[in-house]
Amino acid sequence: MAKLSLPYLLATLVAYAAADGEVLRHPKQPCAHLKAPCIPGAEIISINGTELWNYTVSAVPGLLPSPVTGLDVCAVDVVLTHPGAHDKVLVKVWMPLEGWNGRFQANGGVGFAAGELDLTLGPTIKQGYSSASTDAGVGFNPSSPEAWALRPDGSVNRDALINFSYRSVHDMALIGKEITKQFYGQKPKYSYWNGCSTGGRQAMVAAQRYPDLFDGILAGAPAIYWTTYVIAEQWPQVVMKMEKSFPSPCELKVFTDAAIAECDGLDGVVDGVINDPDVCHFNPYALVGRKIPCDGMNVTITEATASVVQKVFQGPFGPDGESRWYGLNPGAALDSLTNTNVTHGKRVGAPFFVNDAWIRYWIAKDPNYDLSKINYSTLDRLFAQSDKEYDAIIGTDNPNLSGFQKSGGKLLMWHGLSDQLIFPKGTVEYRNRVERLMGGSEKVNEFFRLFLAPGVDHCAGTPSLGAVPTDPLAALVNWVENKRAPPNLAAEIAGSQGGARIICPYPQIAQYIGGDTKSANSFKCV
């Protein structure tokens, strides 16, 4: 205990100026003596606070690329339950022992995990925020919901799904802000949400269901329209089955590269990126008959393979010919949703884990359901069933943001146009619906701006050939605290190409106006 007392005493005696320089902030309560907050609809089981000095959060491939070191943190674990739900939810709140910036930030999850816990808490604390993350009572396994989707009797665990879908956002925010207030003796001056993919969907939960929780919301590649778009992710697998063609990854890459080669220069800059996929009219059938080296042999592109790619771009449609959802943009990688593997010497489909699990656990309610048997008519029935049973819980596509607007909140949404997992046109559809309901583009831009990043993959993952936003959270903070709406987002191109760009607010796009193509000053929003 002696090792902790002196640093803690120093931390509590020294006042640290906030980023805005207005109020001095420092710990007021010992970390171990914080009280359980009162959360409507929940009961606190336990609360435990511990000081961590010079703490390190280790890197995790695919989630946290580099370790976060030198953290001095009051780490608080709050465990709660919802009466009748038979759940046990962990909320983690971390607060800087030194140098709090006066702000609170809640962090979202990934895949089937409602929060990344230490993996987002570490980087957020490093920036001076107090921060919170939650497991929503479903644990931390982004790739599979096997442990919580179904009850022992085989029925859907609706309480767990409600926690994952929206309830945990509310509880985490209230707990995080209350614990922060106790520790520092004052509530955060500003509160933010930061998340991408599942975290982006949770961001929209906050804006739609709990509009007073956050001053600023950053939503990347939001997994909204969940009940529709997740079924649409299965479409490429069904197409391959029905066309009896299962292209290898190197065959699919030929189509991606050909689309980029055809449409790259339409914006006046040859940089390996399609700036506006809507004006790219790439025809996959133009590649039929082409011989390519692939998997150590020469392969000829067939009409069936071109048909698969064409339908993936087109998106799912029903027996009536009507569109059920959007497809991927030309230039996006195709091998995540149109994935295959070789089994017993034969190439077969390999569904993406999100749509695979959603269909097996929530739609079929059978972990052993065989997705390879799904045909066009079966998939159409899955669309209807998914929407009917779960849209009210996890759809998260309500365009009425009037509550968030009235609260004075700001929403910054961004999405990569080469996202191969969550269809960017669905995000554009949502923005357009908000505009139609709430008075048009100019009025909506006062509190909600969407930025589309050409050539950027899901949540800026690999492969992203375009310019990735460098710090959209900083743009959001400036908007909230200084009333300066972002006219564009600063962005950088990674790798050997390099260079700075701007990403424009929808419906504008970045137009090249001459000069060095690696300089942001050579582009303007039009």
Query: Residues 215, 267, 356, 419: which is the catalytic one?
Result: 419
Asked if 193 and 170 touch (Cβ cutoff 8 Å), the reply is: no
Annotated active-site residue 86? The verdict is no
SS3 of residue 158 by DSSP: helix
Rounded Cα distance between 491 and 323, Å, is 34
- Please list the residues that pair with 150 across neighbouring strands: 156
CA nearest to 179, candidates 134, 119, 211, 139: 134
The single residue listed with the structure tokens 């001053």 is 215
The radius of gyration computed from the CA coordinates of the chain, to the nearest angstrom, equals 24
Token code pair at residue 30 = 């010992």
Query: Residues 197, 386, 464, 522: which is the catalytic one?
Result: 197
Question: What Å distances lie between residue 31 and 14, 131, 291, CA to CA?
Answer: 16, 15, 66
Annotated active-site residue 458? The verdict is yes
The number of beta carbons lying within 10 Å of the beta carbon of residue 315 is 18
Token code pair at residue 398 = 């309500």
H-helix or E-strand containing 126? helix 118-126
Query: Residues 26, 82, 415, 458: which is the catalytic one?
Result: 458
Annotated active-site residue 197? The verdict is yes
CA nearest to 16, candidates 71, 105, 97: 97
CA nearest to 193, candidates 477, 488, 399: 477
SS3 of residue 291 by DSSP: strand
Tell me the catalytic residues: 197, 419, 458
